[in-house]
Amino acid sequence: MKQNKIERIHSDSARTCKLCMEEMETLYEHLAMSTDEIDLLDMPKRSFTVHFPVRMDSGKVKMFIGHRVQYNDARGPTKGGIRYHPELTIEYLQDLAFLMSIKCALVNIPFGGAKGGIVVNTRELSRGELERVTRAYIREIADYIGPFKDIPAPDVYTDEQIMVWILDEFEKIRREHTPSIVTGKPVELGGSHVRKYSTSLGGVFILEEALRKLDIDRSELCVAIQGFGKVGSNVARILYEKGFTVCAVSDSKGGIYKPEGLDIKKVIDHKTGTGSVIDLPESQNITNEQLLALDCGILIPAALSNQIKRENVNDVKAKIILELANAPLTMEASRTLIDRSVLIIPDILANAGGVVVSYFEWIQNLSQDYWEEDKVLERLREKMITAFEKVHDICLEQNCSMRRAALQFAIQRILYAERLRGNL
């Protein structure tokens, strides 16, 4: 019987997240899950594609493709980003929506997971075209989203301005103010304090707690960060302000290294002025491959997926990896490092701070009671530490990796909600 389940997971029709497939397979077995439970987790609740015409600046009309996946809503309305990318596929969005369901359950916020977007290269659009494409997409999906149905947010190549167009278009359709339809808005239109750096700060809270639990003195560790965008630059700044030694950072053009520690304020100014972190005076230029192989205590991938893989995993010397990017390690690399006793704090926990503060934004919009920064910080810390404690306890009880513990805990929460509803 068990063999059959695993065969089903491998079959083409099964949908279980490809990004964490191997971990899910062993979990299904470990938890002795029934076929009904696996089926329920395997398939998104709703997954759809829309096609819509938009008038371009040239006067011609062009057709666009948009998708939205609402994976599981047993614990609440679905929640997830809107991504604009020329290679966007519904299959990849299904994986990301599954991971959002897991993240929301793990940090115990009353949302299911979603993800969506438009197949488009934003660099090829004028600002007016970008606005018209966004508004047209929202008109197509308006019946399926809402504050108690599905709540979009920013993602890759979408920002605050796009969230404002989404808000405005939805409100025009509804003919009433509905700030809770979307998160990631500017504070002036109902956004939350802290949201802009919430993913990075949530990761730092978890890192500090892990060091405390493991009784590791942070002054003995230096930090290398891959990626200096929204997440990478903020985590560098926060760690620097807390007194960590950040010895290396990088972006798509390359990296910089200074063993005694970079002045992150100078790095931010340099990047703002030149467009890259490289060539900062009094630091050494390095490649991204060299950064990943540095003899640093803490490595923080905050750029792209699949950066540490079979080809370079044996070069990695870090003792702790904080996954702020989504799926920066292949599962194979992850297993190799765990075998070498490297502590990997998995993406579904490490970068969940963003969706936690999105939840706070939604609460504030619904209650019309807007919180001071201190309250957001305190509640974010509480949510992140509580999730860390649960995961840590499971790791100790079962002698398993943090990724395995986090997935297991979240899946059990989702299945429990499904059982209470009578769906299992």
Which one of the listed residues 115, 271, 383, 390 is annotated catalytic? 115
Between helix 198-213 and helix 353-367 the angle, nearest 10°, is 130
Nearest-approach distance from CB 108 to ligand NAD, in angstroms? 18
The angle that helices 373-398 and 198-213 make with each other, rounded to 10 degrees, is 40
DSSP-derived 3-state class of residue 296: coil
Q: Which residues bind ligand NAD (CB under 6 A)?
A: 199, 226-232, 250-252, 288, 302-304, 324-326, 351, 354
Is 317 assigned a catalytic role? Answer: no
Tokens of 326: 């989504």
| Residue 219 buriedness (CB in 10 A; 0-12 / 13-18 / 19+) | exposed
Q: Which residues pair with 49 in a beta bridge?
A: 67
Q: Would you call 374 exposed, middle or buried from its count of C-beta atoms within 10 A (0-12, 13-18, 19+)?
A: exposed
If we measure between CA atoms, which residue out of 103, 37, 48, 110 comes closest to residue 73? 110
Of 26 and 312, CB closest to ligand NAD = 312
Neighbours of 279 (CB within 10 A): 12
- Residues forming beta bridges with residue 344, ordered by sequence position: 321
For the CB of residue 321, give the shortest distance to ligand NAD in the complex, in Å: 14
100 touches 355 (CB < 8 A): yes
CB of 196 to ligand NAD, least distance (A): 9
222 versus 231: smaller Cβ distance to ligand NAD? 231
Torsion of CA 206, 207, 211, 213, to 10 degrees: 20
Q: What are phi and psi of 228, to 5 degrees?
A: -130, 45
d(CA 418, CA 71): 13
Beta bridge partners of 92: none
As measured in angstroms, the least distance from the Cβ of 275 to ligand NAD is 10
Nearer to ligand NAD, 264 or 324 (CB): 324
Quote the CA–CA distance of 358 and 111 in Å, as a whole number. 11
Strands (E), 146-266: 150-154, 222-226, 245-251, 254-257
Closest approach, Cβ 40 to ligand NAD, in A, equals 25
What is the nearest approach in angstroms of ligand NAD to the Cβ of residue 254? 8
Cite the active site residues: 115
